Amino acid sequence: MKKIFLLSIILFAALVIQSCSDDSVTNQDPPVNDNLTLIGTQYSNGMKINLYSDTVLFTGYNDLYVEVKDSVSGIYVNDAHVELMPMMNMGSMSHSCPFDNPSSSTPVNGKFPCDAVFIMPSSAGNWTLETNIHNHITNEKASVIFPLTVTEPVYSKLKSKTVNGSTYFVSMIEPSKPKVGINDLMLKVNKRVTMMDFPNDSAYTFSVYPWMPSMGHSSPNNVNPVYTTQGMYDGDVNFTMTGDWRITLKFIESPQDSLSFDLVF
């Protein structure tokens, strides 16, 4: 018993020492994910804040990455609280859109992953992303605003549908690079509660039906998307050949309602 007690103290000490020595900042740069697109850079209260996305921002679901560095030393801030507020200013009115704040105060590869579903392109007004950061290491706070340019993709990746009086936004996240064969089907569903509040939603389930309009045929063995977490649905959609495809999603609980995504590859 005594031995176990001693051992646990040693172990605990070792853990504390290790976490201390590794705490808050690293001198080494985290591995660079060079496939990301830099959206903008802002400085505030000794912090350099970079905003990245996977591609150019478009109407629909976008993964975003907030990188926070010490503006002088360039050292990554590894403990911070990050909050977003995307905003569309249309002149006469403004509104927000669905988004998810980083789920943790610890970055992944130096960046805080978060996302936003832009529900219209910048041609309708001005998109901005207000980013509030509380640096837990320096206890400094910063608030910066990134101007954003959101383009409309050729084939829409976001559809809205009013079902039983409520408006839902359905984003098709995957397939982002469709291929012949089995494709991951990933959707995100948000409900519009107010113009500023678009919570993740899991009220409906969907059936998936791919269709080739030019030839008039479907594809077999698709897997209906099922709800996972944070408004996300996961399933499979199969394409038997390249060409133009239409993915139709039916609201199972409201069978008269459906929406479709077109894609071409």
Residue 42 makes contact with another protein by CB under 8 A: no
Single-letter code of the amino acid located at 117 = V
The answer to whether the CB of 31 falls within 8 A of the CB of 20 is: no
Residue 38 makes contact with another protein by CB under 8 A: no
DSSP β-bridge partners for residue 51: 40, 66
The answer to whether the CB of 40 falls within 8 A of the CB of 127 is: no
Which two structure tokens, joined as six digits, stand for 258? 């459906």
Q: Which is nearer to another protein, 91 or 216 (CB)?
A: 216
The answer to whether the CB of 176 falls within 8 A of the CB of 265 is: no
Nearest of 233, 148, 248, 151 to residue 188 by alpha carbon = 233
Q: Which of 242, 252, 254, 262 forms a contact with another protein (CB under 8 A)?
A: 242
Q: Which of 75, 85, 124, 212 forms a contact with another protein (CB under 8 A)?
A: 212
Minimum Å distance from CB 264 to another protein? Answer: 6
Contacting range for another protein; rule: CB under 8 A; set: 37-45, 97-105, 139-147, 216-224: 216-224
Which two structure tokens, joined as six digits, stand for 132? 């509030």
Binding-site size for another protein (CB under 8 A) equals 20
- Quick note: the x/- pattern for another protein over 176-205, rule CB under 8 A, is ---xxxx-----------------------
Nearest of 164, 171, 59, 67 to residue 121 by alpha carbon = 59
Residue 50 makes contact with another protein by CB under 8 A: no
Interface contacts to another protein, rule CB under 8 A: 179-182, 212, 214-221, 238, 240-244, 264
